[in-house]
Chain A
Amino acid sequence: MNTVLQYVKPYTKRIALGLSIKTIGTLMDLFIPWILSHIIDNVIPTGNIPMVIIWGGGMIICSILAIVGNISANRMAASVARDTTKRLRHDLFVKISFLSNTEVDKFTIPTLISRMTTDSYAIHHLVGMLQRIGVRAPILLLGGIGITLFLDATLTLAMIAILPLAALLIILISRIGVKLYRKIQIAVDDMVRVVRENATGIRVIKALSKSEHERGRFQSVNEDLTKKEKNAALIMSTINPAMSFLMNAGFVVVIVLGAYRVNEGTSEIGKIIAFMTYFTIILNALMSITRIFTMTSKATASADRIKEVLDAQNERDITVAEEDASNIEEDTSMNIPHIEFRNVSFRYDNSKFLINNVSFSLPHKATLGIIGATGSGKTTLAQLLMRFYDIKSGEILINGKDIRYMTLYDLRSKFGVVFQNDTLFKSTVEENLSLGRDIDLIQIKEAAQHAQAAGFIEEAGGFDAEVAIKGMNFSGGQKQRMLLSRALAGKPEIIILDDASSALDYKTDAKLRAALNTNYKDSTKMIITQRISSVMHADQIMVIDEGKIIGLGKHEDLIKDCQLYQEISASQLGGGEDASS
């Protein structure tokens, strides 16, 4: 909850002002009945018409003050809620944007989505509501107690004696409430997950006619969520009747006590009657306060979830201790390798080593082909180079400088990359290719030309053409060529293509390779692939198996020395030799 307070803090002045105005409005609302009873009890019997009209006018003025006060206070409340939510969501999004991949994997995507959405609404709701209903209740409660104290202190103290018990009850139930609402949010995550999976896997689900099964899967998450919601609602709503019973019991005590006091002559019957009126007001105020607590415990559960994200580890940038090392300049001279891995090993927490003591160096402008079995660690190598994960031991150097001592900005701005599971966004073609980078349309068009994408983009309606969600209005091969255009645009220092042409036919692939060689000869390239033909002309080919390098050299060398390479080669080129003979 402190997190939320922190976000509300900057608006303390506005809140204070709003609450003061609201207080005036509320007081006016309370004044009106008072004037009314004054007119009826004291003015009307005198028959003084002008006085009646004056007091009536007073009521109208109070009414006007009330409406003006309440409306402007509500407006301020809404604006505080707006600004708080805006900043909270902004910070949350910023945080998630910079969250390290390890953390993202830990949180999982559905829960990040629901924290950004449903949890942030819960807080918005609370901030708005608190300001709107949080004034009247305390005023009435304090005012009511004040007046009753004035009437008969002893009786009031008897009634107040109930309050600690009531407070205990509220605290106890809101504690439980936070836990219950937390469980609900976890169940919401599960629901989000199932719905999301159904949206993304609709083809498979339909193909396998599993709609029925999926409905069953949803039913169980829906039932679970509903059960938890019911459970929370039922437990949380015990508080209302319990509170009102407690207070009413206190009231009975007051009457009995009052009877004794009247009997002793220390109090009067009139006071006890007046007590009754104020008692109702106090009771209602207390019920409102209870409601605020219930809402708060719901928002607290959400706030805790948001705080978990805000407190999570960012991607590691340079740390202070490393600042000295970070002063080392990159050496871009040709005699220093552009990319160098020294004894690099890596594993995720509690998994086996995915990369095992890998060393290689790649000169400037060279092309490295990486080939190896499915799951051998090819993609991981690229991810380590871009520092999506930090290596467990060894060093990765670019231009002779350890990438851990570079800012992420300096590091990543060197790359143009296509991932295996890369995404297109719902937007225009141009926007998808530039991603808002500082690259002009001419360069983008050029890149599209090189990536063999210009033709179909033209047919689709040019660079302003719409791209649907995940690029669904383009074929697999077209999507890949757009991703390639994105990577090539701006002629990056290092190009990484991870299985970026798997959906391209060989002819297009060959054209792409030719374009890469002529137009991007100044870039250092890492090409991860299954196809020998994509890498056989590379300056270096790395054959990787179970995270270890088992062959490194040119095609001619590997075809002689490396058994795995021979096998791969035979499986792909074998048929060709038959056909060409």
Chain B
Amino acid sequence: MPPRNINPNDKKLTKIEKKQVFSRLMRYLWQYKFLLLLALVMTLAANLLSLAGPFLSGKAISAIENGFGNVDFDTVFQYAGLMIGFFAVSAILSYLLTIVMVNISRNITYKMRKDVFDKITKLPVGFFDTNQTGDILSRISYDIDVINTSLSNDVVHILAGITTVVGSLIMMLVISPVMSLVFAVTVPLSIVVTRKMTKKTRPLFRKRSAKIGELNGFTEEMISGQKTLKAYLREHYTIQKYDDNNNETVEATYNAEYHGSIIGPTVNFINNLSLSLISVFGALMYLTGGITIANISSFVLYSRKFAGPINETANIIAELQSALSAAERVFRLLDEDEEVADNENAIELKQPLGDVEIKDVSFSYVKDIPVIQNLSLTAPKGSLVAIVGPTGAGKTTLINLLMRFYDADSGSITLDGFRVDNITRKDLRLAYSMVLQDTWLFHGTVYENVTYGRQNATMDEVISACKAANIHNYIENLPDGYETMINDDGTNISKGQKQLLTIARAMLMNTSLLILDEATSNVDTRTELNIQQAMRTLMSDKTCFIIAHRLSTIQNADHILVVNNGRIIEQGNHKELLKLKGFYSEMFYSQFS
């Protein structure tokens, strides 16, 4: 298999890539620029309203100011009423702001999950052979969640923060440009320190996300293989391995969180330092007559306002960084090579006849380890080609090539005279129905599973397919018949029954080509015999490729290919091959010895 793993921890991101992560994240936000603008306006309005509160209460208080016995109750009540009104408006406004932000962040999350899933459906089969399911799950659930948390909380913070910072800076410059000089030192200092620290913590956060992905991969694999682990009493051993993984993960998390949480207090420290400087500085200026007490007082007020959002931002930097690392993992998945797009001039083959020709095809999963070499064969419409040979001889690989799960390294495969890479993948694959050794059923009803290949099938058709596949009686005996839910991984039915269901699924599809890869390996031979008639009907008029070990099932094939080490070593029909007294006849007789 091609070593294509999306999870290299050591892969350092270049600066450009780092910026890309951020700008790609922004692109998701940008789709909601109008809503964001609205949010910004609302934030400003809310800020202004928050100023109205003290203003109104000030008015009310000045009506009280006259003191004992002279309070102007009319005015007090008037302003009290106004205040209630303003507070109500402000509450409503802030709720509206939440609605806007929830919508933005949730829609982005939705879009990201959709993008990731769409990507998953477009990735080549090989991807899933090399990447752990749990790690993929981790990206679509955990990583996207982290991004969302950051988007929904931090964006508002930062938006509000920017307005406050800019406003206070202007005010401070107006009051005392000289005293503002303090900030000319401390602000750049904060920025430099923050940048330095984030640079240091960035890899820590990246490692954390990667470790979590690994842990999830491990967890998924172990929970899925639990029965085996129990049978071999490997619980403690697995727990040990899990613990190692888990320890590394929590340690990585701790490192990231701890180092990330240094930034906040540090920036806060710098700000406190600047306050101290301002007070000393202000005192000196006052003494030299450069400033009034009132102005020092308001300057200090503004400088605290100024420092607030900076502190807050520093405090959420850890969150931002986790979001970026998470985004990086999501984007890396989105950047995986897809199945090569259909050829531009790819034709749509709606009614394939089923003439297949393979010419000089060679293929290897890993470079220099050939699996198939110079294979040629012709399968005219309606013929039955059987492929036999020892395990690991490349039989299943041939199927991978016919259906273009992988592309051949050299040589050509044609269907109805068209090169398969000149046919749209969709039409090529729909030309075949397929029953594989590894059956696959999904969480859904029996009916849904059987009609998976042809959703518009009528109930009668489904029943007759299931009868033909000898599984109808079994289904009828299930608690809810055709509406019975199949468990995750189909654990509630046996492997043989699963195969019969997938055969019924194939029977429902009326294609001109058929692939049976060890389709009945787990079905008992008597049942197999019972369904043989139906299988014959299924195979009639179709070009069939059958991989089987039970040589009894393929004796009537038009053409038998004996494959060994990726080469066809013998071919012909059953009788011819027996006469050869070669590999095939040896295999054939060995089943009776």
Known interface pairs A201-B442, A226-B109, A238-B95; A93-B246 also in contact (CB < 8 Å): yes
In the complex, chain A residues whose CB is within 8 Å of the CB of B479:
350-351
Segment with Cβ contacts to B, from A139-147, A325-333, A565-573: A565-573
In the complex, chain B residues whose CB is within 8 Å of the CB of A441:
none
- The answer to whether B279 and A36 touch across the interface, beta carbons within 8 angstroms, is yes
Of chain A, the residue at the smallest CB distance from B94 is A241
- The answer to whether A222 and B117 touch across the interface, beta carbons within 8 angstroms, is yes
Q: Which of B54, B94, B99, B587 contacts A505 (CB 8 A)?
A: B587
- The answer to whether A272 and B64 touch across the interface, beta carbons within 8 angstroms, is yes
Known interface pairs A40-B300, A66-B265; A579-B64 also in contact (CB < 8 Å): no
Interface size class of B (residues with CB under 8 A): 35 or more
In the complex, chain B residues whose CB is within 8 Å of the CB of A508:
390-391
- The answer to whether A262 and B67 touch across the interface, beta carbons within 8 angstroms, is yes
- The answer to whether A117 and B216 touch across the interface, beta carbons within 8 angstroms, is yes
In the complex, chain A residues whose CB is within 8 Å of the CB of B280:
52-53, 56
A165 part of interface (Cβ distance < 8 Å): no
A507 part of interface (Cβ distance < 8 Å): yes
A462-B457 Cα distance, complex, nearest whole Å: 50
In the complex, chain B residues whose CB is within 8 Å of the CB of A375:
474, 493-494, 496-497
A541-B403 Cα distance, complex, nearest whole Å: 42
A460-B317 Cα distance, complex, nearest whole Å: 48
In the complex, chain B residues whose CB is within 8 Å of the CB of A218:
113-114, 117
Segment with Cβ contacts to A, from B73-81, B162-170, B355-363, B538-546: B73-81
B414 part of interface (Cβ distance < 8 Å): no
- The answer to whether A230 and B264 touch across the interface, beta carbons within 8 angstroms, is no
A229-B272 Cα distance, complex, nearest whole Å: 39
A448 part of interface (Cβ distance < 8 Å): no
In the complex, chain A residues whose CB is within 8 Å of the CB of B429:
206-209
- The answer to whether A269 and B61 touch across the interface, beta carbons within 8 angstroms, is yes
Known interface pairs A206-B125, A237-B102; A474-B141 also in contact (CB < 8 Å): no
B65 part of interface (Cβ distance < 8 Å): yes
A468-B99 Cα distance, complex, nearest whole Å: 46
Segment with Cβ contacts to A, from B25-33, B172-180, B377-385, B523-531: B523-531
- The answer to whether A67 and B265 touch across the interface, beta carbons within 8 angstroms, is yes
Q: Closest CB-CB distance, A240 to chain B, in whole Å?
A: 7
In the complex, chain B residues whose CB is within 8 Å of the CB of A108:
487-488
A568-B528 Cα distance, complex, nearest whole Å: 10
Of chain B, the residue at the smallest CB distance from A386 is B231
In the complex, chain B residues whose CB is within 8 Å of the CB of A78:
254, 257-258, 261
Interface residue ranges of A394-435 to B (CB < 8 Å): 408-409, 412-413, 415, 417, 419-423, 425-426, 435
Known interface pairs A53-B280, A420-B495; A113-B134 also in contact (CB < 8 Å): yes
- The answer to whether B272 and A419 touch across the interface, beta carbons within 8 angstroms, is no
A373-B473 Cα distance, complex, nearest whole Å: 13
In the complex, chain A residues whose CB is within 8 Å of the CB of B130:
468-469, 472
Interface residue ranges of B37-95 to A (CB < 8 Å): 53-54, 57, 60-61, 63-65, 67-71, 73, 76-77, 80, 83-84, 87-88, 90-92, 94-95
- The answer to whether B98 and A44 touch across the interface, beta carbons within 8 angstroms, is no
Mask: chain B, 253-267; 1 = CB below 8 Å from A; 0 = not: 110011001101110
Q: Closest CB-CB distance, A43 to chain B, in whole Å?
A: 7
- The answer to whether A499 and B121 touch across the interface, beta carbons within 8 angstroms, is no
Mask: chain B, 383-406; 1 = CB below 8 Å from A; 0 = not: 000001111111110000001010
B225 part of interface (Cβ distance < 8 Å): yes
- The answer to whether B91 and A245 touch across the interface, beta carbons within 8 angstroms, is yes
A116-B219 Cα distance, complex, nearest whole Å: 8
Of chain A, the residue at the smallest CB distance from B114 is A222
- The answer to whether B227 and A388 touch across the interface, beta carbons within 8 angstroms, is yes
A357 part of interface (Cβ distance < 8 Å): no
- The answer to whether B231 and A255 touch across the interface, beta carbons within 8 angstroms, is no
In the complex, chain A residues whose CB is within 8 Å of the CB of B526:
373, 564, 567-568, 571
Q: Which of A32, A75, A468, A510 contacts B272 (CB 8 A)?
A: A32
A60 part of interface (Cβ distance < 8 Å): yes
A335 part of interface (Cβ distance < 8 Å): no
A412-B231 Cα distance, complex, nearest whole Å: 6
A272-B53 Cα distance, complex, nearest whole Å: 15
- The answer to whether B76 and A256 touch across the interface, beta carbons within 8 angstroms, is yes
Q: Which of A105, A197, A222, A421 contacts B110 (CB 8 A)?
A: A222
- The answer to whether A118 and B142 touch across the interface, beta carbons within 8 angstroms, is yes
In the complex, chain B residues whose CB is within 8 Å of the CB of A417:
231-232
In the complex, chain B residues whose CB is within 8 Å of the CB of A118:
141-142, 145
A248-B89 Cα distance, complex, nearest whole Å: 12
Q: Which of A74, A77, A93, A251 contacts B262 (CB 8 A)?
A: A74
B239 part of interface (Cβ distance < 8 Å): yes
B198 part of interface (Cβ distance < 8 Å): no
Known interface pairs A108-B488, A420-B494; A71-B262 also in contact (CB < 8 Å): yes
B342 part of interface (Cβ distance < 8 Å): no
B226 part of interface (Cβ distance < 8 Å): yes
Of chain B, the residue at the smallest CB distance from A569 is B525
- The answer to whether B273 and A60 touch across the interface, beta carbons within 8 angstroms, is yes
Q: Closest CB-CB distance, B202 to chain A, in whole Å?
A: 17
Q: Which of A45, A258, A481, A506 contacts B591 (CB 8 A)?
A: A506
Interface residue ranges of A311-330 to B (CB < 8 Å): 315
- The answer to whether B239 and A93 touch across the interface, beta carbons within 8 angstroms, is yes
Of chain B, the residue at the smallest CB distance from A55 is B279
Of chain A, the residue at the smallest CB distance from B396 is A475
In the complex, chain B residues whose CB is within 8 Å of the CB of A264:
68
A215-B1 Cα distance, complex, nearest whole Å: 27
Q: Closest CB-CB distance, A254 to chain B, in whole Å?
A: 10
Mask: chain A, 32-55; 1 = CB below 8 Å from B; 0 = not: 110111011001110101001101
- The answer to whether A423 and B138 touch across the interface, beta carbons within 8 angstroms, is no
A124 part of interface (Cβ distance < 8 Å): yes
A288 part of interface (Cβ distance < 8 Å): no
A36-B527 Cα distance, complex, nearest whole Å: 90
B103 part of interface (Cβ distance < 8 Å): yes
A379 part of interface (Cβ distance < 8 Å): yes
B309 part of interface (Cβ distance < 8 Å): no
A59 part of interface (Cβ distance < 8 Å): yes
Q: Closest CB-CB distance, B288 to chain A, in whole Å?
A: 11
Q: Closest CB-CB distance, B140 to chain A, in whole Å?
A: 6
In the complex, chain A residues whose CB is within 8 Å of the CB of B239:
90, 93-94, 97
Q: Which of A98, A128, A196 contacts B133 (CB 8 A)?
A: A196
A244 part of interface (Cβ distance < 8 Å): yes
Known interface pairs A350-B479, A576-B592; A413-B296 also in contact (CB < 8 Å): no
A188-B145 Cα distance, complex, nearest whole Å: 11
Interface residue ranges of B405-454 to A (CB < 8 Å): 405, 425-426, 429-430, 432-434, 436-438, 440, 442-443, 452-453
- The answer to whether B521 and A66 touch across the interface, beta carbons within 8 angstroms, is no
- The answer to whether A101 and B227 touch across the interface, beta carbons within 8 angstroms, is yes
Mask: chain A, 488-522; 1 = CB below 8 Å from B; 0 = not: 00000000000100111111111000000000000
A526-B575 Cα distance, complex, nearest whole Å: 36
Of the candidates A86, A225, A456, the one having the most CB atoms from chain B within 10 angstroms of its own CB is A86
Mask: chain B, 117-149; 1 = CB below 8 Å from A; 0 = not: 110111101001111111011101110010000
In the complex, chain B residues whose CB is within 8 Å of the CB of A524:
none
In the complex, chain A residues whose CB is within 8 Å of the CB of B279:
35-36, 39-40, 52, 55-56, 59
In the complex, chain A residues whose CB is within 8 Å of the CB of B138:
117
A444-B122 Cα distance, complex, nearest whole Å: 40
In the complex, chain A residues whose CB is within 8 Å of the CB of B216:
113, 117
In the complex, chain B residues whose CB is within 8 Å of the CB of A425:
221-222, 225
A159-B88 Cα distance, complex, nearest whole Å: 18
Q: Closest CB-CB distance, A558 to chain B, in whole Å?
A: 14
A386-B251 Cα distance, complex, nearest whole Å: 38
Ranked nearest first, the 9 interchain pairs of A and B with the lowest CB-CB distance are A477-B391, A374-B496, A506-B591, A63-B272, A70-B265, A201-B440, A472-B129, A241-B91, A74-B261
Taking A97-B230, A241-B90 as known contacts, 4 extra A-B pairs with beta carbons closer than 8 A to each other, sorted by chain A number, are A40-B279, A117-B138, A480-B391, A572-B550
18 inter-chain pairs at a CB distance below 8 angstroms, sorted by A residue, are A49-B287, A66-B268, A71-B265, A108-B488, A193-B443, A202-B128, A209-B429, A222-B113, A237-B98, A241-B90, A241-B91, A251-B57, A263-B70, A415-B231, A415-B232, A476-B518, A478-B392, A567-B526
